[in-house]
Structure 1
Amino acid sequence: MKVISILSSASRWQARMRLAALVVLIGVTGMSGSLVLAQAQGPDGGNTVQQTQAPAASAESVVTAGQGATAQPQRFGVREMFGQADVVVKAVMVFLVLCSLLTWAVLFEKLIVFGRARRRNQTFLAAFRGGEMAKVSESAEGSAMGRMWQVSQSEIRHFRQHLGERPDADQINRLLQRMSLTSSIVQERDLARLGSMMGVLATIGATAPFIGLFGTVWGILNSFASIATLKSASLAVVAPGIAEALLATALGLFAAIPAVMIFNKFARDINGFVGSLDNFSAEMIASVSRQMDEGR
């Protein structure tokens, strides 16, 4: 069916894009590690000069050490990294946080919708199998199975109005085919309603890591620009930019992982919903066929 094919295609694209994101992330992480290692090893070349100037700088180093003993360490948490980030990196982070909030909103909305649909179908199915026509008519409008039953009853009324009470086998077969077709149309509409926002989850799960990687690459470019501007290759210059960049990647994964898990959960629920509607359609058509054979 159309909804199932869309869900399977989205799952395949998610798998491909997650693999590509992993490859890019490994490359960016390796580049960052090489850069940090280079900065850590860079100052070694000046040891000779520093050793020759050690006697002259001994007093200054004592003063600096005394100041460092009383200085408070600079905080460098998530809030500080966000505040010091570039405008582009900030925009990426805000967008990813909004994607994460949207993902959780879809989760709660779908839990309510699927729970309500499941309860209404169970109520209608119990009344249908119990032969309680008053309850069947009462609960038909609120459930997918009830709407399938309504369009089938409409086909039966039209059939009896035009062909009488004693139709032949060929006419009955055409009636059953029309019932199956109209029930499938109603089923597709209900599945489309249940599957709304699934494309949003698939899109967030597939693209959020790449959006985070864009922020990472942008932050690393800013780190290189800082080296060129300040003419300093120390870790104090490079580390903040790399940390901000990796925070963007972390937010991308934070948005993508729940989106993929929620998408897979509701894809399984939709498959189960399709199976229950197919079973009810077959049960309903078999019941009508049996009634026609009995002349009712």
Structure 2
Amino acid sequence: MDTQTLAAAQEIDFSMLALFARATITVKIVMIMLIAASFWSWAIIIQKTISYRAARREADAFDAAFWSGEPLDELFDQIGAEPNGASERVFAAGMMEWRRSHRQDGKLIPGAAPRIDRSMDVAIAKESEAMTGGLSFLATVGSTAPFVGLFGTVWGIMHAFEEIARQQNTSLVVVAPGIAEALLATALGLLAAIPAVVFYNKLSADSDRILGGYEAFADEFSTILSRQLDS
């Protein structure tokens, strides 16, 4: 390789901004999409991490209050019909149905236990929908971002070969910028996909544990109420 070619290659700006500026409009669109997906993924990751920690703290505090020996009616009156925490909402759903199942004479309407179970199941389903919202986006980014980046790379390399054919020159000065621009799209695809996949798996496991705790509480609460029904 001659000295002039090396000198020309050293003068090429290979910074990310310069590579983006030199890319074709198609590759630029791909890069912008991947950058936006990465930022949105991190927003979901941060928001879910904070909300899951808050949910665990709320569940621990409610469990302590529930098993403190305080009468359930008094605990429900303290929480109210519109509680703030997820555990409290599951409990409130069961208690409201429990109170609705009593007739004016104090006797229970038949079929109270199944209705209480269904009420708590509906409450848990609502919490599950809210808790897992956004995780599907992480899964989508994790599975598609590498292929979107690969598309940008293929398109960029095709443009680089067209430039070689147009200039009738295969020197480093002609080849290197186009290849670098193309590979940047793949790098951005991996940059978006890897955190999305890692945190999707982690957050999915966290949500399963939290929802499993709600379901376990609902079963325990249903058992307590069934004892009172039998008595």
Cα distance between partner residues in 2 of 1:249 and 1:210: 8
CA contact 1:216–1:246 (8 Å) conserved in 2? yes
Query: Residue in 1 aligned with 2:90?
Result: 148
Contact 1:120 / 1:139 at 8 angstroms: preserved in 2?
Answer: no
The number of residues matched between the two structures is 226
Q: Which has the higher helix share?
A: 1
1:138 deviation in Å? Answer: 3.2
From 149, 152, 160, give the equivalent of 1:212: 149
Equivalent residue number for residue 194 of structure 2:
257
Q: Which moved more, 1:111-120 or 1:138-147?
A: 138-147
Alignment of 1:12-51 (within 5 A): none
For residues 160-181 of structure 1, what are the alpha-carbon distances to aligned partners after superposition, in whole Å with 9 as ceiling and x for unaligned?
Answer: 216743x69xx3xx21111111
Mapped contact 1:124–1:136 kept (Cα < 8 A): no
- Match for 2:57 among 108, 112, 119? 119
Residues 135 and 180 (structure 1 numbering): CA distance in 2 closer, same or farther, change over 3 Å?
Answer: closer
Local SS of the residue matching 1:161: coil
Q: 1:182 to 1:87 in 2, by over 3 A?
A: same
Letter in 2 for 1:97: I
- Is the 1:155–1:179 Cα contact (8 Å) retained in structure 2? yes
Deviations 1:72-127 (A, max 9, x none): 93242323222221122122112211111111111111112112222112211211
In structure 2, the gaps of 5 or more residues are: none
The letter for the 1-side match of 2:89 is R
TM-score (norm 1): 0.70
Give the whole-Å Cα distance in 2 for the aligned partners of 1:69 and 1:228: 21
Residue 47 of structure 2 corresponds to 109
Equivalent in the alignment of 2:101:
159
> Match for residue 284 of structure 1?
221
Partners of 1:237 and 1:71 in 2: how far apart? 10
Any idea what the Cα deviations from partners look like across 1:147-202, whole Å, max 9, x if unmatched?
Answer: 1222222222222216743x69xx3xx21111111110010001101111111111
CA contact (8 A) 2:20 2:28 kept: yes
CA distance in 2, matches of 1:68, 1:177: 81
Selected match of 1:89 from 9, 24, 27: 27
Tell me which moved more, 122-131 or 256-265. 122-131
- Conservation of the 8 A alpha-carbon contact between 1:223 and 1:241: yes
Alignment check: 8 A CA contact 1:204 1:259 kept: yes
Call closer, same or farther: CA 1:135–1:123 in 2, change over 3 Å.
farther
Pair 1:196-2:133 in alignment = yes
- Closer, same or farther: CA 291–228 of 1 in aligned 2, 3 Å: same
Unaligned runs of 5+ in 1: 1-39, 41-63
AA in 1 matched with 2:86:
A
Q: Are the aligned partners of 1:127 and 1:136 in contact in 2 as well (CA < 8 Å)?
A: no
* Counterparts of 1:115 and 1:213, CA distance in 2: 36
Letter in 1 for 2:31: M
Question: In the alignment, is residue 228 of structure 1 matched against residue 170 of structure 2?
Answer: no
Cα deviation digits, residues 212-245 of structure 1 (max 9, x gap): 0111011111111111211112232112111111
Specify whether residues 120 and 202 from structure 1 end up closer, same or farther in structure 2 by C-alpha distance, changes over 3 A only: same
The match for 2:122 is 185
TM-score, normalised to structure 2's length? 0.88
Residue type of the partner of 1:121?
A: A
Contact 1:213–1:249 at 8 Å: present in 2 too? yes
Is 1:138 the counterpart of 2:75? The answer is no
Instruction: Give the AA of the match of 1:158.
Output: R
Aligned partners of 2:9 and 2:172 also within 8 Å = no
